[in-house]
Structure 1
């Protein structure tokens, strides 16, 4: 399984208590499942993940099903919580 880094920004970073973590995952869906398991007691982070958008290697995921978004070796996933303002 390819290894890579998940980076947390803004509210996700505050909730996770760190800027990034490393995991081994083949799809974005697999990765997010692992993150949820690892942080299952952190309701704040889990809530932020539910509202966030994601970039995989600088490409927006958009509405694609997370289980269909493949992660290549050395991947980077950015967690982008919604930002206030306008």
Structure 2
């Protein structure tokens, strides 16, 4: 845990995110958080993680596709992935309906062999 602070004589534990999240700036498309890529998605993206600034999962993934347009495998791998948003499975929900939160995390999980 991070440091603690006192409030009216009660110790309150605070935590620091592993990667500090900058607040959304005026004019930004939405909340700011982190996209984490795993296995083949990580290889296709060429990075383990990157920030998002988007209101929905669809917006975040569209921006990621544009960022990685020079990596031809990225869009192909992304199309086969499943997603967790703040540890909750997205499943078959329309990505345009999946809201993202300030400081949230999107996990990009390609299909795994063996279960």
TM-score relative to the length of structure 1: 0.95
Residue 54 of structure 2: aligned partner: 25
Give the deviation of 1:33 after TM superposition: 0.5
Misfit runs of 4+, over 4 Å: none
1:63 counterpart = 2:92: yes
Partner of 2:111: 82
| Residue 49 of structure 1 pairs with residue 89 of structure 2 | no
Alignment RMSD (CA, Å): 0.9
Q: Which 5+ residue runs of structure 2 have no aligned equivalent? A: 1-29
Asked if 1:40 corresponds to 2:69, the answer is: yes
- Paired residue total: 86
Which deviations, in whole Å up to 9, do the C-alpha atoms of 1:21-73 show, x marking residues without a partner?
Answer: 00200000000000011111212111110000000000000000000000011
Which runs of 5 or more structure 1 residues have no equivalent in the other structure? none
Which structure carries more helix by proportion? 1
Larger radius of gyration: 2
In the TM superposition, what is the alpha-carbon distance from 1:85 to its structure 2 partner? 2.3
